[in-house]
Amino acid sequence: MCALFVVCLLLCVLGLGRGEEEEPNVRRIMKELDVIPDVLKEPPQELLKLRFESGIDIEEGKTYTPTELKFQPKLEWNADAESYYTLIMLSPDAPSREYPIYRSWLHWLVVNVPGLDVAKGQPLSEYFGPMPPKESGLLRYVALVYKQSGKLDFEEKKMELKSAEDHSNFDLEKFTKKYEMDAPFAGNVFQSKWDEYVPELMKMLYDINE
């Protein structure tokens, strides 16, 4: 009986250990970087994979340069081909983490994405990459995918890339509640800081010389 008890106890402990290890790394990293609660109340269920043209696969929580992230990435998540999704990328740290008066700054918004085919979705805001101010330090960038109840009619008009007003102070909670979206299905978070590409992006978008 004693030997059987010990075996059962070991199995329970091993089972608990496996359960802890099964939590996606992205959920832990989002908590460590305070994405929970700064952006989300609940972390995503799984990892959203982002691969950039530069050959970079985003690793949760790591730091990348604006130059490396200048072009729209390819995305991958455990999508249902028959379902529709909303893709959102934003920064809660505009213009800096210490002084986020423009939280959240919207960098990408595509709705009615059928399965994994982002190109067939309805873009409300085209992608543009990180543009941290020179003295801002590290800024967080959060990419999220929400599962829709079906193909939806969105009231929002397509945003102009050059419109700072359209992109600042994006209310993620208000938007997702409006369209009855639950917690994000998939997500990722990375960090970035100023490099020489930022002035070029600022000039292109807003005709501003940094």
| Residue whose C-alpha is closest to residue 121's, from 104, 139, 133, 108 | 108
Distance CA 66, CA 195 (A): 6
Q: Are 205 and 197 in contact (CB under 8 A)?
A: no
Give me the half-sphere count of Cα atoms (radius 13 Å) on the Cβ side of residue 32. 12
Q: What is the pLDDT confidence band of residue 168, given thresholds at 50, 70 and 90?
A: very high
Q: What is the pLDDT of residue 11?
A: 47
Q: What is the pLDDT of residue 20?
A: 45
Q: Does domain 25-206 have CATH number 1.10.540.10?
A: no
Distance CA 75, CA 72 (A): 9
pLDDT digits (tens, 9 = 90+) for 125-147: 999 999 999 999 999 999 999 99
Q: Are 39 and 90 in contact (CB under 8 A)?
A: yes
The domain limits of the chain are 25-206
Q: Are 50 and 75 in contact (CB under 8 A)?
A: yes
Percent of the chain having pLDDT more than 90?
A: 82
pLDDT digits (tens, 9 = 90+) for 4-49: 444 445 544 444 444 445 668 999 999 999 999 999 999 999 999 9
pLDDT digits (tens, 9 = 90+) for 56-108: 999 999 999 999 999 999 999 999 999 999 999 999 999 999 999 999 999 99
Across the chain, what does the average pLDDT equal?
A: 91
Q: What is the pLDDT of residue 206?
A: 85
